[in-house]
Chains A and B, each alone.
Chain A
Amino acid sequence: DGGITQSPKYLFRKEGQNVTLSCEQNLNHDAMYWYRQDPGQGLRLIYYSQIVNDFQKGDIAEGYSVSREKKESFPLTVTSAQKNPTAFYLCASEPGQGINEQYFGPGTRLTVT
């Protein structure tokens, strides 16, 4: 899992509540990413950030929000507008320019009932 931490590993919430997933990296990487993984599906990009105070929507950004106030932190908020939030969420980081390996965190499994 490299130097990326995600917390908590398991998270349970009631429908209609916002919830924030934590992602921290100590690798001094510029770029950070949030993915969603559903059973039998490939990873889908939610948001990504190439630099502090800047981020871009991915393929499935609706119902999610992010912030990048610090280089090492990229929290993801799952809002009540997200229709089907139950999933496995993965955070990743990479150094930035060039061909680099993306390092993934251990993931957070969110269950909304």
Chain B
Amino acid sequence: KNQVEQSPQSLIILEGKNCTLQCNYTVSPFSNLRWYKQDTGRGPVSLTIMTFSENTKSNGRYTATLDADTKQSSLHITASQLSDSASYICVVSGSSTLGRLYFGRGTQLTVWP
């Protein structure tokens, strides 16, 4: 069964601190993995997309890693800001079905001043 599991479910950190969010998946075959940021009541916004051959990709203070062998990904946020408070969703695309994405439940990050 194609699944995407994220941990932790929620996380609270102080402004300026770093944090790492985890994603494990069982989607096969695998095409690419995406991280999205979703503010409350808004649509998700893409942070990174990584294919099988990529193991690191950065977008500003966000750095995603991918280990396709162990089917794990992480999203590292550096020097957190209050605006980073959001849900971070890991999404995996399987190459067997065009356009079909498998969504994790998200990690709810809260940054306190």
Chain B residues whose C-beta falls within 8 Å of the C-beta of A105 in the assembled complex: 43
Instruction: Known contacts A42-B106, A99-B49, A102-B46; decide if A50 and B93 are in contact (CB<8 Å).
Output: no
Please report the total number of A residues contacting B with Cβ < 8 Å. Answer: 26
Q: Which of B27-44 contact A (CB under 8 A)?
A: 31-32, 34, 41-44
A24 in the interface, Cβ–Cβ < 8 Å? no
Contact present for A109 and B41 (CB under 8 Å): yes
B66 in the interface, Cβ–Cβ < 8 Å? no
Closest to A33 in B: B99
Chain B residues whose C-beta falls within 8 Å of the C-beta of A106 in the assembled complex: 42-43
Q: Which of A89-113 contact B (CB under 8 A)?
A: 90, 92, 94, 97, 99, 101-107, 109
Taken together as a complex, chains A and B put the C-alpha atoms of A36 and B27 apart, in Å, by: 20
Instruction: Known contacts A90-B43, A99-B32, A107-B42; decide if A42 and B93 are in contact (CB<8 Å).
Output: no
B75 in the interface, Cβ–Cβ < 8 Å? no
25 contacts between A and B (CB under 8 A): A1-B43, A31-B99, A33-B99, A41-B105, A42-B4, A42-B89, A42-B105, A43-B103, A44-B103, A45-B101, A48-B99, A50-B98, A50-B99, A88-B41, A90-B43, A97-B98, A99-B31, A99-B32, A99-B49, A101-B34, A101-B46, A103-B46, A104-B44, A104-B45, A109-B41
